[in-house]
Every structure is written in C-alpha cells, then in structure tokens.
Amino acid sequence: MIVAVTQIDPWRITADGLSFGTFAHSIEQVQGVESVAARRYKGQRSYARHGDIPTFRSYYEAKTFPLMITLGPWDPDGDIDHPTGYFGHLRKNWESLATVIGKRHGFIDLRRFVPDDAGESVELQADAVVGRTVPVRGSVAVWRVLVEFILPYPFWHELPKVEREAAMSHSFTTGGTAPINDMVFTFAGDGTLSWGDVDITVAGSTSAVTVDVGQRKVFQSGQLAMDLIRLSKAMDNWMEWPPQTAITLSSDVNVAVDYYNARH
C-alpha cells in the first residue's frame, strides 16, 4: 500500500513551481547546490618576485550545478490514476519537466528552503537557465534526467525582500553569506547617498529617481535616465555590501532602500 506523501525530498527545490520532492519528480543526486561560485582571479606579477601578488577584488563567476531528476510512474502523491497507467504518468511527468527546462525565453524561477538556527525554514530564490540536459539510462518504470542549472547571478536571494522606507539615514546589519550588490535606491529628488568612500549622486531630476544597482541602470518615470547619475568611482564600482556587516547610509535627500540578503 502506497501512502500519499507530497513532499519527500529534504532539499525542497522547485523550478517555476514544479516540485522536485514528489513521487512524480524527485532529486536522486545533488552536486554543487551547496557551493561557492568560482572566482575570476587574475594575479599581478612583479619583476624578480616569485609567484603572484594576490588581489582581493576578484569577482564571482556564474554558478553551475547538476541535478539528477528521477521521474516516477505516479502522480505527485504516489497514486496511479492516469487512464493509461504507468506509462501515461511517465509521459505526463516528462512533459511537465520539459515545459520548465525547455523554455527559451526568460529565467526559470528556482526556489529552495533551508533551515535556520531557530528551527524555521528560510526560502531562497534564484534566476536560472538550463545549460544542458542529459538523458540517463533508466527502466521501463523509472526515467532519469541530468539537468544542468546555471545561475548567471551566482547567489540565492533570501525571501522576503528587505524594504526600508525613505529616510536620510539608514543603519542596519546585513545577513546571509554572500555580498549584496543588486540593491535598489529610490531618491525623492536630487541628492547624494554615501556609504564609506562610495557616493551615488542624482542631479537634474524632475521627479523620483530609481537607481537599480543590480541592473546598473537609472530610471525616472519608468524611462531610462543614465544622465542623472554621478558616481564617486568608476562606473564599474557601484556600491556593494558584505554579508553580516553593519551598514550606515547617509544622504541629503530621502532615499528608500530595497535589497535581498544573499547566500552562496
């Protein structure tokens, strides 16, 4: 007798809402989900010196990890209720998976839950694409597919988003384990926002201005307005906050701050 259990996978991973923790789709092998993305390292060399001079400004590559997904001949609850029986369930489960991993436009919304120190669950989200799929030998009753997921932005977002109301100063401590560099600042008008030696200045605005650090873009009234921004450093060096760090922002105009704590 099969007892209906919808969630059987401790990883609790979904892709566009399709759970990989059911009798229909389950994860057999996990590799690379818990990992730190590779670094873009380029050492500096000096004449008459051995080795490299280490640099500490190396950035992260995209993260890639494969999941071995097993397709079972049942519905998600473990029942056999397809009019054509086992094979009908296998075909239906394959088509559900192919619809998600075969999409050509847009990102796959990847979600997972991880435990925290309080015994609760934290939901993580990432935008993913599929690099390749490899059919793996199965049987008449069970099919297996190796799916290679790629996170172009190599960190998971903790949900929900942190939203701080508009003010001229903000003090808080970041969480997570990965750097935060896709925050969104909404300036009420012209002014400068500062953190340490990094300044973001908006000048020449006629209404509220949104500075999207993740996209490296500035918008006013929904229109791209890159001419309104001035940075104290090179355009590549936008603001980035380390994890688990006290942050103090100051400005001479009200600025709302939205961001996600991030994890490797």
DSSP 83-142: TT-HHHHHHHHHHHHHHHHT--SS-EEEEEEEE-TTS-EEEEEEEEEEEEEEEE---SS-
Q: Per-domain residue ranges for the chain?
A: 13-154, 161-263
Mean pLDDT of 198-226: 95
Mean pLDDT of 106-134: 91
Alpha-carbon torsion angle 93, 95, 99, 100, nearest 10? 20
Q: Against a cut of 0.75, is the pTM above it? A: yes
- In the chain, the N- to C-terminal Cα span, in Å, equals 41
Residue with tokens 């950035």: 59
Class of domain 161-263: mainly beta
Mean pLDDT of 201-217: 95
* Mean confidence (pLDDT) of the chain: 88
Six token digits for residue 229: 């921004």
Residue 112's pLDDT is what? 93
Q: Indicate left, alpha or beta for 32 from its phi (over 0: left) and psi (-120 to 50: alpha).
A: left
Question: Would the pLDDT of 95 be above 70?
Answer: yes
The alpha-helical segments, DSSP class H, found in 67-115 are 86-101
Mean pLDDT of 13-37: 86
Mean pLDDT of 51-66: 81
DSSP 197-212: TEEEEE-S-SS-EEEE
Mean pLDDT of 111-138: 88
Question: Would the pLDDT of 208 be above 90?
Answer: yes
Six token digits for residue 255: 């600025």
Residue 84's pLDDT is what? 79
Please provide the CATH number assigned to the domain covering 13-154. Answer: 2.40.30.200
Residue 56's pLDDT is what? 65
Which pLDDT band, with edges at 50, 70 and 90, does 186 fall under?
Answer: very high
